[in-house]
Structure 1
Amino acid sequence: MHYDQAALDAAYDQRVWAPDMADWLARYRADTDAARAALRPEIFSYGPHLLDLYPAQGAARGIHLHIHGGAWRAQSRDDSGFLAPALTAAGFAVAVPDFSLLPARRLPDVVAELRDCVAWLRPRGPIHLSGHSSGAHLAAVLATEMEFASVTLVSGVYDMEPVLLSARRHYVLLDAAEAEALSPVRHAARMTAPLRLAWGTAESPEFIRQSEAMAAATGAETFVLPGVNHFGAAYAPAQGALYATLTA
């Protein structure tokens, strides 16, 4: 893509594009604390990990499983329940799981854990899947392998080749076959659920390119968020046009 190494590294470093990153992460935690206090989610175990399950309000319409971001190496369910108030008000039970982080585990192992999470949730009703950032990547991988009622991907990366050429290669350790298998844009034909993609215009140009490529490969419904950076985009499933579509 005609980047030199410094430019490619910057394209995958969110601090370059969102200098208020720390403020957004603090907001995630505060809004999750408020959601927990108001909605009192049940805490369950699936495998070795915990999962918060926020109860649906009113007529139930299934499970919304949200996979958090954090560049595959940060954040947890403690930072990731901020979508729950809006989605539970629309009738979804909202599941927010913990899972292993890199580099303590490898990316294929993380995907396997999330498959187990989906299997654990499956008896509770139809699953609507979403993810933000690296969580959108993980959600997209799952969507190439499993059936969902709908899939919503926000500000993700969907082709691992440029990721593995960036500075992230120092902790995202994949061989060529694994990189191919975990590049969902290359397996778009396997996605059968209704698919929605969202991203902000103030994101890294490389994240915008990845989202546009995924949209072109899948024909997904797209939601472009004017003036919104990578971290602000995380709220898109709980507000505005994307929320209206998710809850129609």
Structure 2
Amino acid sequence: MAGDKVWLEYDQAALDAAYDQRVWAPDMPAWLARYRADTAAARAALRPETLSYGPHGLDLYPARGTPRGIHLHIHGGAWRAQSRDDSGFLAPALTAAGFAVAVPDFSLLPARRLPDVVAELRDCVRFLRPRGPIHLSGHSSGAHLAAVLAVEMDFASVTLVSGVYELEPVLLSARRAYVALDAAEVAALSPIRQAGRIRAPLRLAWGTAESPEFIRQSEAMVAATGAASFVLPGVNHFAAAYAPAQGALHDALTA
């Protein structure tokens, strides 16, 4: 028998499953291994410059052809995993289109709190500003962080892939064990609640094989912002991370 509802139609077990990507993509370990292998290959081929902003490192992959500015990509990992060692796999396709690609490290939860992570990424944006216009993207929790930055700061464009944009259900799920926020912070860090403040051209993408809650959040963000949407048929959460490097989303991003 199903338990009491805790968020929309979800009981506690269903909501916990909605925020556990392993339920929807049992091949998650293979995808994470591919991220790292493809990043290593990109580093070997493109030889990024290693820079520091604040206490963190950043890989800056050089643009090829006519320079078009910076593409800053924020990695996923449920706010508590991954690094720039797993997140440079978009660089070959984007540098070929003229973008210098910046892939930063930043603090992870629970060692730091989410507001602190956002502050670090603000510093990263300020560090990169003198190098040219910044196009911003993020995947999963990185899409959430990118959306928060897009509410607060100006960008040439913003591309969000498979993110969450309302934190209330996150704090009701099992993720509350390491995502600790008060009500004011939940409001401030739920970009869908400040959707009207996003000024940059905005694109959202998600796969049809993702958690229904992640799909719902993406559809709600599109409805709130009027963003261009890119639905990826049959694609799971981890495969969706490659969308900025191929297909219709890549074409739009580099147009």
Q: TM-score range, shorter-chain basis?
A: over 0.9
Residue among 97, 105, 110 paired with 1:98: 105
Question: 1:54 is matched with which residue?
Answer: 61
* Superposed displacement of residue 146, structure 1: 0.1
The answer on 1:42 being equivalent to 2:49 is yes
Alignment match, 2:238:
231
Name the SS of the counterpart of 1:229 in structure 2. Answer: coil
Q: CA deviation at 1:6?
A: 0.5
1:31 aligns with 2:73: no
Whether 2:17 is the aligned partner of 1:17: answer no
Which whole-Å CA distance do the structure 1 matches of 2:10 and 2:217 have between them?
A: 15
**Aligned residue number for residue 213 of structure 1:** 220
Write the mapping of 1:132-143 to structure 2, written as runs, cut at 5 A: 132-143=139-150
Q: Give 3-state SS (helix, strand or coil) of 2:152's partner.
A: coil
- Give ranges in structure 2 of 5+ residues lacking alignment: 1-7
Which residue among 73, 84, 94 is the counterpart of 1:87?
Answer: 94
5 Å-filtered alignment, 1:53-72, equals 53-72=60-79
What's the CA shift for 1:25?
Answer: 0.1
1:147 maps to 2:154: yes
Whether 2:129 is the aligned partner of 1:122: answer yes
Q: 2:58, 2:180 → 1: CA distance?
A: 26
In 2, Cα distance between equivalents of 1:245 and 1:194: 11
What one-letter code is carried by the residue in structure 2 that aligns with 1:17?
A: W
After superposition, what is the alpha-carbon deviation per residue over 1:39-95, rounded to whole angstroms, capped at 9, x for unaligned?
000000000000000000010000000000000000000000000000000000000
Aligned to 2:5: none
Q: Which residue of structure 2 aligns with residue 162 of structure 1?
A: 169
Code of the residue aligned with 1:234 in structure 2: it is: A
Runs of 4+ in 1 over 3 A off after TM superposition: none
CA distance in 2, matches of 1:112, 1:246: 26
Give the secondary-structure state (helix, strand or coil) at the position aligned to 2:137. strand
> What corresponds to 1:7 in structure 2?
14
User: Amino acid of the residue matched to residue 119 of structure 1?
Assistant: R
How far apart, in 2, do the equivalents of 1:54 and 1:14 lie?
29
- For residues 87-110 of structure 1, give each alpha carbon's deviation from its aligned partner in whole angstroms, at most 9, with x where no partner exists: 000000000000000000000000
2:60 alignment partner, SS class? strand
Residue aligned with 1:144, SS = helix
Please tell me the residue identity of whatever aligns with 2:83. S
Letter in 2 for 1:20: D
What's the secondary structure of 1:15's corresponding residue?
helix
Q: C-alpha distance in 1, partners of 2:32/2:118?
A: 24
Match of 2:58, as an amino acid?
A: L
Instruction: Tell me the residue number matched to 2:3.
Output: none
Letter aligned with residue 139 of structure 2: H
Superposition deviation, residue 176 in structure 1: 0.2
> Which residue is equivalent to 1:131?
138
Q: TM-score, normalised by structure 1?
A: 1.00
Q: CA deviation at 1:2?
A: 1.8
How many residue pairs end up in the alignment?
248
CA distance in 2, matches of 1:74, 1:29: 13
The one-character-per-residue Cα deviations of 1:122-158 (angstroms, maximum 9, x if unpaired) are 0000000000000000000000000000000000000
Structure-2-length-normalised TM-score = 0.97
* Equivalent-residue separation in structure 1 for 2:183 and 2:72 (angstroms): 29
Root-mean-square deviation (Å)? 0.2
